[in-house]
Chain A
Amino acid sequence: MGRYFAIRIGRAALTIVLVVTFAFVVLRLSGDPALMILGPEAPPEVLAAFRKAWGLDDPIWAQYFDYFGAIAKGELGRSMRDGRPAIELVLERIPATLALTLPAFFFKVALGIPAGIYAALHRGSGIDRAVMMTAVAGFTVPSFVLALVLVLVFAVQLGWLPSGGQDSWRHAILPIATLSLGGAAVLARFTRSAMLEVLGQPYIRTASAKGVPWRKVVTSHALPNAAIPTVTILGFMVGTLIAGAVVVESVFAWPGVGRLLVVAVANRDLAVVQCILLLVAITMVTSNLIVDFLYGFLDPRLRSKGAHA
């Protein structure tokens, strides 16, 4: 068992290193932070001093090793804009993001999974077609379009809800709705196809042939098997709890991690960007690890083989 975990944890660590490296390279290559932060009119001596202070003069590999050395010591750098520790800036935004993404996650699951199961069990019916059309619409429409439509209807036309900001719980309704609808659509489609796949398996016919009532065939034979692929997509959704709301936070002017990221990228505030990316990579990788272990729990076949996958 140890070997199985070790391989997966090692792979997870490697993923994080690669993500951080990628971010480091792309950001350093795409513009001079000193110019971006101080502006083009800044005197050359000021620019030089800024670069020296932040180590931007060093060769890129030296900056890279310094950066990793610091991470290893738990130092994630300071914001180049206001000098505060990047981690502090990021952490204080997390509750705001979770206030959107956690309820949205709940609604996605509560809407998407039952809708998918229902559609699969009533394949070809009017309800199945309605669910699937909604689902297709739900994930083909980009979230910013959906967000704008919701704003137009509920904020501008009807005037029921605010169009942006974070002053009351009513401000959270539209962002949460935007996030939930898209995710529920993806989940519904995924659950439906997983269910259909399982319902077509010979063991479902075996269960019916031995006289198991249909309701029990679905609950005790089909669902446990359909859960296996569905867990993958759920894991992915858990992984996006921190950074999955970038677009929605921007549209609704919601001061979460996503909006911080957009601002930090625009300003080349390297430490903040890297800190967020590191956090995102860690949550993604952790949720993938959890999914791997859940697989082992749900599927006895993986417990005894598949170690070399």
Chain B
Amino acid sequence: MQPLVSIADLRVAFNGVPVLRGVDIALQKGEALGLVGESGSGKSVTWLAALGLLPRQAKVAGSVLLDGRQILGAPAAELDQVRGGRIAMIFQDPASALNPVLTIRRQLSEALALHRDLSGETVKAEARRLLDLVGIPDAARRLSAYPHEFSGGQVQRIMIAMALAGNPDLLIADEPTTALDATIQAQILELLSSIRREMGMAMVLISHDLGVVAENCDRVAVMYAGRIVEQAPSHQLFADPVHPYAQGLIGALPPLDGPRRRLTAIPGTVPDPAHMPAGCAFAPRCALAEEPCGLAAPTLVPIANERSVACVRAEASRRALLRIAAE
């Protein structure tokens, strides 16, 4: 089956400094993929680059196919049809993601006019329907309000309504709940998954929060220093992470119940993109690192059905695991 989106060897550099160093992602129709990683890992840049939303000084190379058509470097008019129409995006900070001087109606209608060929009264009716859909009470009246008149959670709902205006096949949610309180975060995540189910839409959920991603996605990709280091179905990734970085991330998360244990913190810090270590970028912080780790950057290799890992040591441990299973 042809993937909905397939990204191959996507690379991004800002002023000659590489921040994305070869990312491959294949996303099926209706699938929910989680992208986790710490700040600077390139999880947001991947999708901003794919949609041509990075500033001009960013150098982007590689390939991004949507239904088999190349969209990287596509003409502006074609990209404008893709953005919002096929692939919509919502962002972290809802308060500044909406234009402060335009009414909600104008911002919603703009998206409807661009992708749905609606006009006049039908636009208004559809805008109202979308606000109802995302749970904004009293939608008809609230359409003429400005963004600052809504709470953070409500603005994120409006962002979702706006993203849905073009009936997209894929929604990229970039840290959609990071700026929100816990109970509101739960509301927004619930809304996202129910809408996804109803509309059969694919979703990429970008988050630094492993828990958020695990609960809401079928498959998770862990990113570190501009590369994907491990990819797996979410329950498997959290039950038995293979890459030492993925293990480290899960170990660093304090448990909410059960006995308290000392956190297994990953030592050191994320490498500076301008001075990337040779070989595996995680090797300087990795307890398992050996000599070969510093020689060449490991590539993402399948280790099981739907699972792949970019780690020299993980392949060794996988072989050992298979040997035990065979005996």
Contacts and interface: CB of A to CB of B under 8 A. Distances in A.
Interface of A: 124, 201-203, 205-214, 220-221, 224-225, 228, 298-301, 304
A211 B148 contact: no
A307 to B, nearest CB: 14
Contact of A203 (B48, B53, B85, B96): B96
A220 B114 CA distance: 14
B49 to A, nearest CB: 13
Contacts of A298: 101
Given A211-B114, A211-B166, A225-B101, A206 B80 contact: no
A224 B53 contact: no
Given A205-B53, A304-B149, A210 B111 contact: yes
Contacts of A221: 99, 102
Contacts of A300: 100-101, 146, 148
Interface residues of B, number: 35
List the 7 shortest-distance A-B pairs measured between CB atoms, nearest first.
Answer: A211-B84, A210-B84, A211-B83, A209-B89, A300-B146, A203-B99, A202-B96
A299 B83 CA distance: 28
Contacts of B82: 211
A220 B101 CA distance: 10
Contact of A209 (B77, B88, B98, B110): B88
Contact of A301 (B97, B100, B163): B100
A209 B51 contact: yes
A248 to B, nearest CB: 37
Interface string B68-97: 000000001100111111001101010011
A213 B146 contact: no
B48, B57, B83: most-surrounded residue (chain A CB, <10 A): B83
B83 to A, nearest CB: 4
Contacts of B88: 209-210
Contacts of B146: 300-301
A228 B80 CA distance: 28
Contact of A299 (B57, B84, B101): B101
A154 B88 CA distance: 58
A298 B99 CA distance: 13
Interface of B: 48, 51, 53, 57, 76-77, 80-85, 88-89, 91, 93, 96-102, 110-111, 114-115, 146, 148-149, 159, 162-163, 165-166
A229 to B, nearest CB: 12
B85 A211 contact: yes
A208 B114 CA distance: 12
Contact of B91 (A202, A225, A301, A304): A202
Contact of A224 (B93, B102, B163): B102
B99 A225 contact: yes
Given A207-B99, A211-B83, A301-B100, 18 more contacts: A203-B97, A205-B48, A206-B159, A208-B83, A209-B91, A210-B83, A210-B84, A210-B163, A210-B166, A211-B82, A212-B80, A212-B110, A221-B99, A228-B101, A300-B100, A300-B146, A300-B148, A301-B148
7 contacts: A206-B162, A210-B166, A212-B80, A212-B114, A213-B77, A298-B101, A299-B100
Contacts of A201: 96
A212 B98 CA distance: 14
Contacts of B53: 205, 208-209
A227 to B, nearest CB: 9
Nearest to B52: A208
A215 to B, nearest CB: 9
A210 B101 contact: no
Contact of B148 (A208, A214, A220, A304): A304
Contact of B100 (A203, A205, A207, A212): A203
A166 to B, nearest CB: 44
